[in-house]
Chains A and B, each alone.
Chain A
Amino acid sequence: MSNHAKAQIANYKKTKKVFSWPNLVAKEFIAAILVTVVLLVYSYYVDAPLRELANPGEPENPAKAPWYFLGLQEILVYFDPWIAGVVVPSIIIIGLMVIPYIDVNPKGNGGYCFWDRRFAVTVFLFGFIFWYLLIIVGTYMRGPFWAFFWPWEAWSFDFPTPPPLISLPNWLGIFALLIYFGFGMLVPAVAFWKFAKQLGFIRYNITMSLFLLMMGVLVKIALRLMFNIKYILQTPWFNI
């Protein structure tokens, strides 16, 4: 156990304490009752959805995954299924798991604070909001054939044909990827040398790779929306 951890446990022993009974248990009890009441009252007035009997011959249009996966379904517009449905969620899960091991900043342990850990908090909040923004778009703004509709527009099948998509030639795509990841890894290492040194070589590379991958999703979305780019890189086996 690190000295820091030991210090924290020693500190815990010194903090002012109150009895769990009733100070904590009473609050838990009230919270549980409130949630039960809210759930039951809400359920009484708002029925859970139930559509017609499942019919394999009659696809829903649009067919939507449960809402918490709609962020992933939404990026299906911008990526092939193996990226949107498998690689992205896997990287998110792994990325979340490694957070405690790449964040070596000892500050802000056990209390809300922003200033002492601006980078960590900003990146995490960005990812959290990004995930929910995609869900909101997927839930409320995607109609038949996954066409985009503003929430105040009625869904219709009569929407303008989307513009034709173009792919970057491979030499340009590889160049762009090299520039993005090369500069993305090198520039912060130079510009924020203290930060990089504090992290160490391995942690820095993991942190920046995850960060660049997350921003890469945003970049690809921007490329599609602004320049109708379909693929950056095409190979016989997969396209990105």
Chain B
Amino acid sequence: MNLISYFIRKLTETEVWKSVFRHGYTDTPRNRALQTLSNVWLHLHPVKVPKHAVKIRFTWCLGGLTFFIFLFLTVTGVLLMFYYVPDVNRAYADMIDLMYVVPLGRLLRTSHRWAGHAMVITVCFHMLRVFLTGSYKAPRQFNWVLGVLLLVLTFLLSFTGYLLPWDQLGYWAIMVGTNMGAATPVMGYQGPFAELLGVKINNDIRFALLGGTQIDAPSLLRAYVWHCIGIPIIAGALMILHFWRVRKDGGISGPL
């Protein structure tokens, strides 16, 4: 044991170690503070948090897990992008390749899909937790609004991913979803008051979503771009705001 601590001491006193970590290794309150403060990945946290906040039964880790699953989805999603081309002639074949040819492709695709479902579930229950602890009350009202937007974006992320395999399941699910868009009042060609603005099948909201009057190559490309680039950027920007506001609005909520 002495030998180990000797080596650790020697290691943490080297110039290389000191150049990488911006603080000492010894377990002192100062170093514990610096560990959070001087680390770009950890400085999202305050140096100290209320004692009740680290109890699992208060937050159930749900917000953090939602963010973590988002990161998991980003990593697996980027890997999937190496194997998948959003072209109607190739997309399904690429899925089959992922399932049967690509090493670990099946695990990659499957875990991406289940993680997507898991994120929808954790974000819903995060909302429930925040509601039940009254954490949306002053001064945190606006952060709840941001949270609702993030909930909607999570649904949209999952929904746009649904079409990408270009199988019967995704195709007809998107058909059901976008046909509802066609019924939008004023802006959908089947909705009430559509004729007021001259809205028809080739210029309504459904047309904008699908890039055509039916689900075809442009729809697949639109779903792909929204899924991989558009919505993640918007959601990412809102997440930055959401996390920042947790800190600015007085830290994690707690009993008065």
Contact = CB atoms under 8 A, between A and B. Distances in A.
Contact of A237 (B107, B144, B193): B193
Contacts of A80: 183
Interface stretch (A3-11, A151-159, A186-194, A212-220): A3-11
A107 B134 CA distance: 8
Interface string B123-154: 00001100111111111111011001001100
Contacts, number: 254
B contact patch SS:
helix
B48 A20 contact: yes
Contact of B173 (A8, A19, A21, A63): A63
A59 interface: yes
Contacts of B183: 80-82, 85-86
B135 A20 contact: no
B140 A100 contact: yes
B207 interface: no
Contacts of A53: 92, 166-168
Nearest to A49: B169
A52 B171 CA distance: 10
Interface stretch (A66-74, A168-176, A201-209): A66-74
B118 A5 contact: no
B68 A56 contact: no
Contacts of B12: none
B135 A110 contact: yes
Interface in A64-94: 64-69, 72-73, 80-82, 84-87, 93
B184 A82 contact: yes
Interface in B144-203: 144-145, 148, 151-152, 155, 158-159, 162, 165-173, 175-177, 179-185, 188, 190-193
Given A97-B148, A110-B256, A63 B176 contact: yes
B152 A93 contact: yes
A111 B133 contact: yes
Interface in A88-139: 93, 96-97, 99-101, 103, 105-113, 117, 121, 124, 128
Interface string B91-120: 010010001000000110111111101101
Contact of A82 (B47, B64, B65, B192): B192
Contacts of B169: 49-51, 60
A12 B250 contact: yes
Contact of B135 (A4, A49, A109): A109
Interface in B38-75: 42, 45-54, 56, 61, 64-65, 68-69, 72
B136 A46 contact: no
Interface stretch (B1-9, B27-35, B233-241): B27-35
A42 to B, nearest CB: 6
Given A12-B50, A18-B48, A21-B42, A86 B168 contact: no
B230 interface: no
B137 A106 contact: yes
Given A20-B47, A54-B167, A100-B137, A66 B111 contact: no
A39 B137 CA distance: 34
Contacts of B49: 17-18, 20, 23-24
A50 B167 contact: yes
A28 B64 contact: yes
B162 to A, nearest CB: 5
A136 to B, nearest CB: 14
Contacts of B159: 66, 69
B251 interface: yes
A203 B112 CA distance: 43
Given A21-B32, A35-B69, A81 B111 contact: no
11 contacts: A18-B51, A22-B32, A24-B45, A39-B111, A55-B168, A60-B168, A64-B173, A66-B177, A85-B180, A100-B141, A112-B133
Interface of A: 1-2, 4-5, 7-9, 11-12, 15-25, 27-28, 31-32, 35-36, 39-40, 42-44, 46-56, 58-60, 63-69, 72-73, 80-82, 84-87, 93, 96-97, 99-101, 103, 105-113, 117, 121, 124, 128, 237-238
